Chain A
Amino acid sequence: MSHAPNRRRPSWQRLAAWAILVLFVLITLAPFYWMLRISLSDNRTLFAGAGSLLPSDFTFGAFRRVLGIATLEEAAAQGGSGANINFWRYLANSVATSAVITVCQVFFSAMAAYAFARLRWPGREQVFFVFLTALMVPPIFTALPNFVTVKELGLLNTYAGIMLPYLFMTPFAVFFLRQFFLNISREVEEAAIVDGAGHARIFFRLIVPMSSAPIATISLLVYIGAWNEYFWPLLVGQEDDVRVLTVALGIFRSQTPQAGPDWAGLMAATLLAALPIIALFAVFGRWIVNSIQFSGIK
């Protein structure tokens, strides 16, 4: 991998280019730092020290308020709004619904991808094309009737209602996995058939293990997507006991008083809601970056 530009002498042009790239990185990271900085501040002194780069009156008070371990007096003393946010519940809801969506969607999509990539049957390409056209339909187009469906099933404000439209497949997951399944060599499969293996066995013992890397990648993408979803859970899961973090943040923000908003609390809640994704990314970032190089979609 000898790469011509790297061997060139540093010039003012290259220095300027590097400076711009570093600036992009800084602009990308600065808001995350600012979220952290505000969340570690005391609301009461936030206004006076608005221009400081460090937290004003460093405290974990906002996190204690959000996590419900601060006393009422403590919260009031630091300018908390007193609004109770049931953070642990919302966190559990987000973790659980995203996990179930991921497992079911990836499993069923993998089955479908197997049928499209490894089995031979009349009409296969046409059916696959029909599946793909679903990518073109804007989500809101299906959201309205899906809401009616979920309502008719009596599943408003239930976990099932929040998860149902995402459980079976997404065109993207089927497309993504099919691409990898197509590249598995025929010979391995045929050897297994000669040994008398059925399709279920080939799928579970051969195709899935051989595709563990792309399956892990798509699982990660599905999990992040489900975690970040706002529109659908806003429609069907507003009630407190099934509320997920994104919906909770929106409500927390609209309940925040205009006069003296609890900025530190808001940023602490926001940071906690983003933290699992940032952690996932820190560990598995390389896969996600590579998957974008591969697919070009989503």
Chain B
Amino acid sequence: MKTSTLRPLGRRAGDLPVAMVFLLPAAVGFAVFYLWPTLRTMYLSFTEYSLLAPPEWIGVENYQKVFGDRLFWNSLQVTVEYVVINIGIQTVVALGMAVLMHRLTRSGLIRGVLLLPYLVANVVVALIWYTMLDAQLGIVNQALEWIGVDPVAFFGETSTAIPTIALVNVWRHVGYTALLIFAGLQAIPKTFYEAAQTDGASEIRMFWRITLPLLRPALALVLVLTIIGSFQIFDTVAVTTKGGPVNATRVIYYYIYEQAFQRFNFGYAAAVCVALFAILATLALMQLKLLRAGETDLD
């Protein structure tokens, strides 16, 4: 604001012509690959479209079908199951990791190592665990055998497939989540801990009385981000189980993928996309409200 007074002549538009030049490529990308497709998905959700003929307007028929579609509800249920296991375990473990790092060490090496799985492709992580969890040859079953447990077909059984995929992705994401929480921990003034220590408080007491309450806003944001990310599970399923056994791992992303790219029901897939978007937006708003993510208790 200050600088505008320094400029020769009070031009209303400011740097608008220059800004348009600098914005042009990004604006084209935004319009063509974000804005237009978002509107187009909404439009397609009201049509029947198989890619071969032009989309045909059918009103809310797709949405009516979505509500009565057993496989849609199944995919939603499977996805929610995945998210609950994935986020539940990941958040608790990441919180533990972050607090341990915060109270023990500033080592960049440890933080780096814990982050490593997150930087490796989903596909790579899925294949490593697919090998390690194989029913005959996998080291995990070998270890189970040593302690006298029967081998488990982790990816191959309806009851274990989703928890297995959820845990594989906990392994991939937990270090990253821990670093996000760690960043929040660093905002808590050290003097709080020093004062508590002079008063003879134990580490566990300090965790419940200082760390957790002051971490709440950061934790809330991390939860919003990781939950939305978790709903978008696709790669691991596509590489390992392909939705099976039976319908046990047909998560919503995979269901949309099948409808659009294997059955060419583009209109229907678009309607499921809109439903997913509505669910995610509602979740995010609810969480931000409930957890009062924007506010801090530090003031």
Interface residues of A, Cβ cutoff 8 Å to B? 3-5, 13-14, 17-18, 20-21, 24-25, 27-29, 31-32, 34-35, 38, 46-47, 50-51, 108-109, 111-112, 114-115, 119-122, 124, 127, 131, 134, 136-149, 151, 164-165, 167-169, 171, 174, 186, 190, 199, 203, 224, 227-228, 230-231, 234-235, 246, 249-250, 253-254, 263, 266-267, 270, 273-274, 277-278, 281, 285-286, 288-289, 292-293, 296-297
Contacts and interface: CB of A to CB of B under 8 A. Distances in A.
Contacts of A25: 110, 113-114
Contact of B132 (A31, A124, A142, A292): A31
B291 interface: no
Contacts of B179: 289, 292-293
19 contacts: A20-B96, A24-B114, A31-B128, A31-B132, A31-B171, A119-B18, A120-B4, A121-B19, A134-B35, A138-B276, A148-B51, A167-B29, A263-B134, A266-B127, A285-B115, A286-B108, A289-B179, A293-B182, A296-B222
Contact of A164 (B4, B33, B106, B124): B33
A235 B51 CA distance: 14
B64 interface: no
A130 to B, nearest CB: 8
Given A109-B26, A234-B238, A144 B44 contact: yes
A3 B3 contact: no
Main secondary structure of the interface of A (DSSP, over half): helix
Contact of A146 (B37, B110, B121): B37
Contacts of A151: 51
Nearest to B15: A119
Given A115-B23, A121-B15, A142-B38, A3 B123 contact: no
A111 B23 CA distance: 6
Interface in B26-59: 26-30, 32-38, 40-41, 44, 51
B17 to A, nearest CB: 9
A111 B119 contact: no
B224 to A, nearest CB: 11
Interface string B173-201: 00110011011001000100110010000
B121 A50 contact: no
Nearest to B22: A115
Given A141-B38, A267-B128, A169 B183 contact: no
A168 B277 contact: no
Contact of B131 (A38, A112, A230): A38
B124 to A, nearest CB: 5
The 5 closest A-B pairs by CB, nearest first: A168-B29, A112-B26, A145-B37, A228-B121, A119-B15
Interface string B195-224: 001000001000000000000001001100
A148 B296 CA distance: 45
A184 B28 CA distance: 27
Nearest to B123: A246
Nearest to B240: A253
B78 interface: no
A21 B93 CA distance: 11
A50 B116 contact: no
Nearest to A169: B26
A136 B224 CA distance: 11
B175 A28 contact: yes
Given A131-B30, A296-B183, A228 B176 contact: no
A120 B22 contact: no
Given A51-B142, A199-B22, A266-B127, A274 B273 contact: no
B142 A50 contact: yes
